[in-house]
């Protein structure tokens, strides 16, 4: 496997021999991957290949599924996240997540964004106002929604809802943002807005994105990992991987021979 060589301080997260089991089924087989700070890493592969499972190990969300066993280790900076000392709440604050289906809470736009900061103890109204505005601006939503902060979030369009979900994640000030097929429920215009946003966000955040859409992976990501049957088949700079895949299976997948 052709891992990318890079200096240590650039690596934000790192998985080492990571294995995941659902009951008796092994969903991931010894995954080693370096995720570089301030870059976009895309995870591609056919359904059931383990890419979403891998994503969910990065903020320990897999633990919510009963019967899951995890072996190996994941590091955030130099901290082992699968260790007794790791505070899961603190981890999820640092590693935010955007899901496939935009799921806004049944509250106003403002309350959706303020949800995370409130949970983490911020009560001061002025401070909350500031966070909400900053997060909505960063998610390219301030111009559309800044004047309608108190309308129910459920009335927004799907694309706006997905950007609101991103603003909600940004409001807790994460370091890494995980995205699980964030554009799969969106129309093409909303998708392109989302992709622009991802390109802007990587200046301040490290992003890992799971996508079914190979054009999207090629457009938005700097690094790409190709998963198949729970194995990381190939991991490389996106340009390299798409133009000059080292593995035959990768080539078959990206040229559309299966998947």
Binding site for another protein (CB under 8 A): 59, 61, 64, 66, 89-90, 92-93, 96-97, 99, 101, 103, 105-108, 115-116, 119-120, 152, 154, 165, 168-169, 172
At its nearest, how many Å lie between another protein and the CB of residue 253?
A: 28
At its nearest, how many Å lie between another protein and the CB of residue 59?
A: 6
Nearer to another protein, 120 or 257 (CB): 120
Nearer to another protein, 68 or 192 (CB): 68
Angle at 115 (CA atoms; ends 151, 104), nearest 5 degrees: 55
At its nearest, how many Å lie between another protein and the CB of residue 155?
A: 8
Question: Is 230 in a helix, a strand, or coil?
Answer: coil
At its nearest, how many Å lie between another protein and the CB of residue 123?
A: 14
Is the separation of the CB atoms in 179 and 210 below 8 Å? yes
At its nearest, how many Å lie between another protein and the CB of residue 8?
A: 27
β-sheet with 95-98: strand ranges across? 95-98, 176-180, 206-210, 40-44, 223-228, 231-237
Nearer to another protein, 96 or 225 (CB): 96
What torsion, rounded to 10 degrees, do the Cα atoms 250, 254, 256, 257 define? -20
C-alpha 102/C-alpha 104 separation (Å) is 6
Q: Is 167 exposed, middle or buried (0-12, 13-18, 19+ CB in 10 A)?
A: buried
Nearer to another protein, 1 or 119 (CB): 119
Nearer to another protein, 57 or 236 (CB): 57
């Amino acid at each position: 496997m052709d891992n990318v060589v890079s200096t240590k301080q650039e690596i934000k997260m790192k998985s080492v021999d990571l294995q995941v089991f659902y009951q008796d089924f092994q969903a991931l087989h010894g995954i080693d991957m370096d995720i570089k700070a301030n870059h976009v890493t895309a995870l591609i592969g056919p359904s059931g290949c383990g890419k979403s499972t891998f994503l969910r190990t990065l903020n320990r969300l897999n633990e919510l599924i009963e019967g899951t066993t995890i072996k190996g280790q994941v590091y955030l900076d130099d901290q082992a996240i699968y260790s007794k000392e790791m505070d899961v709440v603190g981890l999820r604050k640092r590693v935010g997540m955007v899901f496939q289906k935009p799921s806004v809470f049944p509250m106003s736009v403002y309350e959706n964004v303020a949800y995370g900061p409130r949970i983490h103890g911020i009560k001061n109204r002025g401070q909350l106002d500031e966070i909400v505005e900053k997060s909505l601006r960063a998610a390219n939503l301030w111009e559309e929604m800044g004047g309608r902060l108190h309308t129910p979030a459920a009335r927004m369009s799907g694309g706006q809802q997905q950007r609101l979900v991103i603003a909600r994640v940004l409001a807790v000030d994460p370091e890494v943002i995980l995205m699980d097929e964030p554009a799969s429920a969106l129309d093409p215009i909303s998708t392109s807005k989302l992709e622009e946003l991802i390109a802007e966000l990587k200046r301040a955040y490290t992003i890992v994105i799971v996508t079914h859409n190979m054009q999207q992976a090629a457009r938005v990501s700097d690094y790409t990992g190709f998963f198949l049957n729970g194995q990381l088949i190939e991991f490389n700079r996106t340009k390299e991987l798409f133009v000059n895949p080292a593995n035959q299976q990768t080539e078959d997948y990206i040229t559309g021979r299966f998947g």
